[in-house]
């Protein structure tokens, strides 16, 4: 079911957006050569505790997950692009790390993701990350009353395909509100002027994720981490936004 939020409810969602942004900033800044993924998860966990927030991940067990996630942040490295389960891995120079985090504050959820290169960056990785960021910006710009979900999807796809990437549509954006994942689904490829009309109060996560040379993925033995089928690297950018009568509101905007 698709729910539209009142202006007062959107105001109550802002603290969740700010908190999610702060955790991504902290974990992104802490992601250095020699840091373990479990240390990043512990940092996010401690920030949740101090803020009195609730994790959306730790008990999360959808049909595509082998078991409850058990951690509070997704850490996807190199050829992993989504749902990376934190494990005993120490970051190395040149690793491409995607961080995805969602939390609930006072009953309202926000969801966001960022990708970064640890240490020395390859030009190809910087291009991949920047393309997801530009696709996110294009998707947000299309999130206006009078447009449809397909306009967001088409805007994302135009940037991704224009940079030479193929696009997987198995996973994409989604509604956000009292829970992390709701309707509508927001694919990263689609046709303009198709799909649900965008109305004021619609809150969605827009999340372009691209792989370098393939759109095929497989699930790790951990039952969660999604990797590229050919070993190429992936990047992921995401914001929770609200459609309004004017410009969209980016609830998870980072400094």
Report the CATH number at residue 88: 3.90.230.10
Question: φ and ψ at 232, to 5 degrees?
Answer: -75, 160
Reported as type and span, the H/E element at residue 18 is: helix 7-30
- The Cβ-side half-sphere exposure at 111, using a 13 Å CA radius, reads 24
Q: What is the pLDDT of residue 255?
A: 79
What pLDDT score does 66 carry? 87
Domain range for residue 233? Answer: 7-250
pLDDT of residue 64: 86
Q: What is the tens place of the pLDDT at every residue in 159-184? A: 999 999 999 999 999 999 999 999 99
Selection from 119, 115, 116, 121 nearest residue 34 by Cα: 119
Residues in the chain predicted with pLDDT less than 70, given as ranges, are: none
Q: Would you state the structure tokens that stand for residue 209, as one six-digit string?
A: 């994720």
**Residue 177 domain flag:** yes
Please state the length of the chain.
Answer: 255
Binding-site residues: 83, 100, 111, 174, 181, 207, 238
Q: Is residue 2 part of a domain?
A: no
Q: Which residues are part of a known binding site for substrate? A: 83, 181
- Mark the binding-site residues for a divalent metal cation, compressed into ranges: 100, 111, 174, 207, 238
HSE-CB at 255 with a 13 A cutoff on CA atoms is 8
Continuous segment of H or E residues that includes residue 147: none
Residue pointed to by tokens 């992993």: 80
Long-range interactions of 40-44: CB distance < 8 A, separation 24+: 40/73, 40/75, 40/86, 40/99, 41/71, 41/72, 41/73, 41/75, 41/86, 44/72, 44/73, 44/101
Q: Is residue 208, in this structure, part of any structural domain at all? A: yes
Asked if residues 131 and 163 have their Cβ atoms less than 8 Å apart, the reply is yes
Residue 127 parent element (H or E)? helix 123-141
* Assigned domain for 1 exists: no
Q: How far apart are CA 162 and CA 147, in angstroms?
A: 22
pTM value is 0.97
pLDDT for position 1 = 87
What total number of domains does the chain contain?
A: 1
CB atoms within 10 A of CB 99: 27
**Is there a domain that residue 222 lies in?**
yes
Report how far residue 169's alpha carbon sits from residue 185's, in angstroms, rounded to the nearest whole number. Answer: 10
11: which 2 tokens? 């105001």
Residue 255 lies in a domain: no
Question: Which residues, 6 or more positions from 25, have their beta carbon under 8 angstroms from its beta carbon?
Answer: 254, 255
Please enumerate in sequence order all residues whose Cβ is within 8 A of that of 32, keeping only pairs 6 or more positions apart, or say none.
91, 118, 119
């Amino acid at each position: 079911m698709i729910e539209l939020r009142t202006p007062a409810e959107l105001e109550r969602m802002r603290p969740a957006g700010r908190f999610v942004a702060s955790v991504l900033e902290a974990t992104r800044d802490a992601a250095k050569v020699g840091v373990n993924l479990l240390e990043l998860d512990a940092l996010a966990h401690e920030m949740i505790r101090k803020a009195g927030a609730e994790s959306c991940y730790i008990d999360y067990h959808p049909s595509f997950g082998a078991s409850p996630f058990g951690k509070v942040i997704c850490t996807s490295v190199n050829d992993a692009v989504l749902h990376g389960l934190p494990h005993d891995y120490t970051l190395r120079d040149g690793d491409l790390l995607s961080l995805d985090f969602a939390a609930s504050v006072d009953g309202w959820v926000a969801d966001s993701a960022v990708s970064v290169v640890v240490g020395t960056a390859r030009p190809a990785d910087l291009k991949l990350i920047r393309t997801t960021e530009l696709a996110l910006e294009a998707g947000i710009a299309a999130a206006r009353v009078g447009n449809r979900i397909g306009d967001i999807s088409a805007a994302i796809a135009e940037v991704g395909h224009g940079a030479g990437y193929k696009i997987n549509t198995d996973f994409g954006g989604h509604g956000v509100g009292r829970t992390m994942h709701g309707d509508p689904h927001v694919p990263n490829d689609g046709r303009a002027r198709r799909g649900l009309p965008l109305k004021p109060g619609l809150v969605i996560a827009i999340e372009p994720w691209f792989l370098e040379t393939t759109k095929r993925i497989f699930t790790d033995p951990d039952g969660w981490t999604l990797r590229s089928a050919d070993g190429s690297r992936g990047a992921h950018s995401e914001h929770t936004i609200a459609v309004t009568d004017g410009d969209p509101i980016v609830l998870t905007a980072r400094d």
